[in-house]
Amino acid sequence: MRWVNRIQSVIANLFSTKRAEQQIDEELQAHLGLLVEEKMRQGLSEAEAMRRSRLELGGIEQVKQAIREGRHGASLESVLQDIRIGARVLLQQRGFSFVAVLTVGIGIGSMTAIHSFSQFLFNQSVAGASRSEELATVFVNYKNTRSTRPSNAYPHYLELKERQSTFTDLAHYFRFETVFATDEVADQVTVETVSGNYFRVLGVMPALGRVLEMEDDREDAEVVAVVSYALWRRSLGGRSDILGQRISLNGIPTRIVGVAPRDFVGIDLDNFTAPAFWVTLHFPFQAPSLRSIPVGQLLTSTAGGASVGRLRPGVDARIAAANLNGLAGNLSVVGNRRIDSITVIPVSQARIAPGEQARTGPRLNIFFAVSGIVLLGACFNVANFLITRSTARRREFAIRLSLGATRLRVIQQLFIEALLLSIVSGVAGVLLASALLRAFGTTVSRFLGIPLTMEVSLDPTAYSIAAILVVASALVFGIIPTVLASLRNPVDDLRNPKPTWTWVGFRISFRQVLLTLQVALAVMLMVAAGLYGRSLYNISQIDTGYNTDSMLLARVVYRSITSTAARQAFLRDLLDQLRAHPEVASVTAGPGTPFGFVQAKVSLPDNPDLTIDTRTTQAASGSFETSGIRLIAGREFDESPSDKDGSVIINKVLADSLWPNQNGIGRAVNHNGVPRSVVGIVEFDRCFGLLASPGPCSWTAFVPQGFQVNLRLRTHGDPARFAPELRRIVRAIHSDVAITDVETLGSHVAALTANHRTSALISSVFAFVGIALVAIGCFSLFESLVKDSAREIAVRIAVGATPRKVISTTLSRGFALVVLGTAIGLGASAVMTGRIADQLFNVASTDMATFIATAIGMIVVGVVASYWPARSAAHKEPITALRQS
Amino acid sequence: MARMTSKADVPPGTLDMLILRTLQLEPMHGLGISRRIEQITHGTFQLNPGTFFPALYRLEQDGLIKSAWGRSETNRPAKYYRLTASGKRRLKEELRHWSRVIEAINRILEAPQEG
């Protein structure tokens, strides 16, 4: 039973260290006593006997250390001991620990958050579904079609579902926007129409009631819907008696039969919008007025959706794709769509449209890399601190080495301290990451104008990423100082020289190298922030072409009004009521948003060779006045039929290129093949997009069509405060009409530039952290430099150097490092910023002003951070400094 | 078992066996054990305290020997070690193992050389 003895002794050693120490001590003392007695019996004097006995024993402390390390559980015990010591050291140096945990935590936290976010976008299992790793999306790729998200024709889905052999079952779904209304609310929502087996294939269980079944998906079945958890809580009061109640969906009475589970947001994550309702594929989704188009046209023709299936056991996406492609040749031709190939992708990778992935992926990668740079900088900083500290503790280590501790033991202690520090930072980082994501889901997305209606939470793999980062950071800032400390000869350290490397005649310490690198990293971050900042400034200075003061935008969705005449009557009624409202200065309606234009070709009847590519939209009477667009010549549209059929308004850019230096009013043009005469020329030129360069624009008179119309109102007061009144007026006229996208022109413009603001915001935060890191790094390095050369400074002051001279000499050393780091950083930036060139607006990626400002800024930071240590050294009494050293 | 290497002339891996063998005769204190080994080997084996004491503590932790405080012949306090039952078993094993090793090595050394 030797192992029992061992375990006993491990426990005894761990918990009764003191007693064990005492026993060792007593035994060695007794041993020494016996030795002395033996020597005295041989006739030596007591003093000589003592001396020889000590020599023979060879150092009581070293023997003790050898016994300690030979004991069972010694390594575990030493680890525990080091953890205790480490925690004590970190608590003693609270300021250092706080800064280290904060900076390393920010690095780990932001990397973890970004990792989580990209996991959410690109590699997420379907929450709410069972075993979603077995699910795969089937894309039918048609010849001669191009779209970011392929869509499968329903007849092809039916044939594939029938003939395939690799899925247990295939389901079909697609999304559309419609109006949902109850007695209290009306809103535009996303609805997913799904095949009857959809919920069964995904394995989604209802939170309340039931899910949709095959029997619901028939033309003669009652129209029923499953409501999303979020909408149920938000708009239906979260009441359980919602089951069986009817709401109006698309103007059609629909009975609610169930509530989807909380996390379930469907499969597609495009645009971050989650469906509010699930209905079956036989939902009469066309407006009743369009009954002339056969109901269910979608089911028989080319309109598309996506298919999702559960793979049979042992089948992977590749095998399934091979099976389906084998069938592709025999599928019937639907409309003019010919199948090119069929792709099967694990559902986790198909939740974002490939086009979207291509845009978002690189941007996230850049942020991930930048966070990595910040983390590296933070680690360098901590390493710097630890080196400074280990310099101060060098005597301590030297004493321990002299007393018989092995180098490994000292390294272990230093490394455990570093690990403790990085673990605490990692915990802080994970907390920060989850806070960041929560903030992103609410405040930040609102600030940035990103329509995020889903919650992003910390991914399970985020913890392992954080753990890896913790170990990596501990290695960076633990190993460097540790190895430096352990490579040294204890005797040298007791004599106290400084650790330096000699390189081409310069004395460079390792932490000076670290500081230089850190300055370089911070410079890169500052350059990025500067470029994004300038780009954002340029955007804020854009003349939008509109008068952005007190303009309110809104979209009216009247799908549920059955006839065209009734819709026109509704619109007339609405505009009349708004015009009469005391708060409203003017109002106009049109088909598009302020920067929503479509392509149009404009040519001259007498010169068919000159065709100009313009962007066009429709404008109602008074539209330009309400928008604040200046009329240069001619007039706005009136409501006359001749304007609708034969007039066009163009901008100055187009007029100048058609008839340079001539009056264009009254002249004839071909506008998309329709002959029209120019009745007005306006100044507006942003029709190619807010951030695109000015170009030729054209307008035709507004003819209400389709199911929605955009309003522009100029109000007397704050436009945002008119929004509730607008909703009230719309509801008073017709309760099944939704009013959506109510926003001021200012926030509309902000939403269009959200990406730029995100980049500017994130890069400024990183740059700020980078600057803080450099400031701390400079401060600590210079303080220790000054400490190291305190004697030299004191001597110089004592022999008559002025404090001013001392300060400048000390500063010049730090200054050289900062300048070197800045130069390296600027060089690296010049190489790297090309990668973000396409995200910048009117700023070259090698913008000279940004680079110069960054250089000046960094040098100022360096000088300020090094000024205080130098000053305090210069004002020290020389005699005090000499005594202390 | 990992062992501290030292300048002692005791062949590696045999120190435990030597200590157990010495204690087979009678309980002894640390200095007694090391002096006995030196005497019997006519000073060939000089025990380094930095190796010897850790070995003693390890053997005790393994339950092969037991210690108790007592008095030396000159009435000084001393810690006496004695062999336990499992220590005796272990010594037998070690001796058997050792004689096999010695026999094997001797065969190699006494084998006729080629050429």
Residues of chain B in contact with residue A6, where contact means CB-CB under 8 angstroms, are 61-62
Interval A312-339 mean pLDDT: 82
> Rounded to an integer, what distance in angstroms lies between the CA atom of residue A730 and that of residue A737?
7
Instruction: Please write the tens of the pLDDT for every residue from A542-592.
Output: 888 888 888 999 988 887 787 888 888 999 999 999 999 999 999 999 888
Nearest CA in chain B to A31: B31
Two structure tokens written together for A720: 């945002």
For chain A, give the mean pLDDT: 80
Note whether A71 contacts B76, CB cutoff 8 Å. Answer: no
DSSP secondary structure letter of residue A71:
S
Q: Is A2–B31 a contact, with Cβ atoms under 8 angstroms apart?
A: no
Pairing of strands A551-557, A738-744: antiparallel
For position A677, what pLDDT does the model report? 92
Hey, is the C-beta of B57 within 8 angstroms of any chain A C-beta? Answer: yes
Top residue of A8, A9, A16, A38 to mutate, by most chain B CBs within 10 Å, is: A9
pLDDT score at A824: 93
Q: Which is more confidently placed, A865 or A810?
A: A865
Chain B contact present for A37, CB below 8 A: yes
- What's CA A755's distance to the chain center, in Å? 11
Pairing of strands A631-634, A674-682: antiparallel
Q: Residue A520 and residue A540: Cα distance in Å, rounded?
A: 30
Q: What is the pLDDT of residues A192-221, one digit of tens each?
A: 889 999 999 999 999 999 999 999 888 788
**Among B29, B50, B55, whose Cβ lies nearest the Cβ of A58?**
B50
Beta bridge partners of A181: A186, A248
As a whole number, mean pLDDT of residues A339-348 equals 85
CB atoms within 10 A of CB A879: 11
Rounded Cα–Cα distance for residues A394 and A406 (Å): 15
Which of A9-13, A80-84, A131-135, A739-743 is modeled with the greatest confidence?
A: A131-135
Specify the amino acid at residue A243: L
CB atoms within 10 A of CB A833: 22
Q: How confident is the model at residue B4 (pLDDT cuts 50, 70, 90)?
A: very low
What is the residue extent of each domain of chain A?
Answer: 2-72, 132-350, 358-540+754-884, 551-752
Domains of chain B: 15-110 (1.10.10.10)
- Any residues with CB less than 8 A from the CB of A829 and at least 6 apart, and which? A523, A524, A527, A528, A851, A854
A-chain residues near B55 (CB < 8 A)? 70
Q: Closest partner residue to A34 among B55, B78, B86, by Cβ?
A: B78
pLDDT digits (tens, 9 = 90+) for A544-554: 888 888 899 99
Residue A209, Ramachandran bin (φ over 0: left; ψ between -120 and 50: alpha; else beta): left
- Minimal CA–CA distance to B22: which of B80, B66, B83, B78? B83
Cβ–Cβ contact B84 with A under 8 A: no
Q: How far away is chain B from the Cα of A2, in angstroms, using its nearest Cα? A: 6
Burial class (CB in 10 A: 0-12, 13-18, 19+), A251: buried
C-alpha dihedral over A257, A259, A265, A271, to 10 degrees? 70
Residue with tokens 């010694």: A74
The two three-digit tokens of residue A328, written as one number: 């592709």
Note the pLDDT tens digit of each residue in B8-59.
467 767 888 888 888 888 888 888 888 888 888 887 787 888 888 888 888 8
Cβ contact A256:A244 at 8 Å: yes
Range 14-43 of B in CB contact (< 8 A) with A? 29-31
The predicted structure's pLDDT at residue A582:
93
Q: Dig out the tokens for B82 from the structure.
A: 């004695």
Quote the pLDDT of residue A506.
44
Question: Which member of A30, A57, A67 has the closest CB to residue B54?
Answer: A67
Dist CA A207 CA A262 (whole Å): 7
Mutate to test the interface with B, among A63, A77, A409 (most CBs of B within 10 A): A63
Q: Name every chain B residue with its beta carbon within 8 A of the beta carbon of A2.
A: 62-63, 86
Flag whether residue B6 sits within 8 Å of chain A, measured between CB atoms. no
Query: What percentage of chain A reaches a pLDDT higher than 70?
Result: 84
Distance CA A720, CA A192 (A): 31
Residues of B in contact with A24 (CB under 8 A): 57
**B63 in contact with A at a CB cutoff of 8 Å?**
yes
Tell me the percentage of chain A whose pLDDT exceeds 90: 17
Those residues whose C-beta lies under 8 Å from the C-beta of residue A609, and which sit 6 or more positions away, are none
Does the ipTM exceed 0.90? no
**pLDDT digit string (tens) for A152-162?**
777 788 888 98
Tell me whether A9 touches chain B (CB under 8 Å): yes
Are the C-beta atoms of residues A206 and A242 closer than 8 Å to each other? no
Q: How far apart are CA B61 and CA A17, in angstroms?
A: 14
pLDDT classification of A694: cutoffs 50, 70, 90: confident
At A190, give phi and psi (nearest 5°).
Answer: -95, 130
Beta strands in A199-269 (DSSP E): 208-209, 224-227, 246-249, 252-259
At A297, the pLDDT band (50, 70, 90 cuts) reads low
Within 8 A by CB and 6+ apart from B8, the residues are: B15, B45, B46, B47, B48, B51, B52
Cα radius of gyration rounded to whole Å, chain B: 16
pLDDT bucket at A69, cuts 50 / 70 / 90: confident
Q: Which helix (H) or strand (E) holds A123?
A: none
Give the confidence band of A852 by pLDDT, cuts at 50, 70, 90. very high
What integer is the mean pLDDT of A784-791? 70
Contacts of A23 (CB under 8 A, 6+ apart): none
- Residue range A392-429, pLDDT digits in tens: 666 777 777 777 677 777 777 778 888 888 899 889 98
- A9, A30, A56 member nearest B77 (Cβ): A30
Report whether A822 contacts A859 (CB < 8 A). Answer: yes
Q: Which two structure tokens, joined as six digits, stand for B102? A: 């010695």
Span A760-774, pLDDT tens digits: 777 787 777 778 777
On the question of pLDDT at A501 being above 70, the answer is no
Contacts of B74 in chain A (CB under 8 A): 37
Give the H or E element holding residue A489.
none
Asked if pLDDT for residue A74 goes beyond 80, the answer is no
Please state the φ and ψ torsions of residue B46, each to the nearest 5 degrees. Answer: -100, 120
B24, B91 contact by CB (below 8 A): yes
By C-alpha distance, the chain B residue nearest A404 is B50
From CA A786, how far away is CA A796, in angstroms rounded? 13
Q: Give the Cα separation of A621 and A860 in Å (integer).
A: 58
Q: Write out chain A residues lying below 8 Å of B51, CB-based.
A: 66
Give yes or no for residue A331 having a pLDDT over 70: yes
What is the number of other CB atoms lying within 10 angstroms of the CB of residue A172? 29
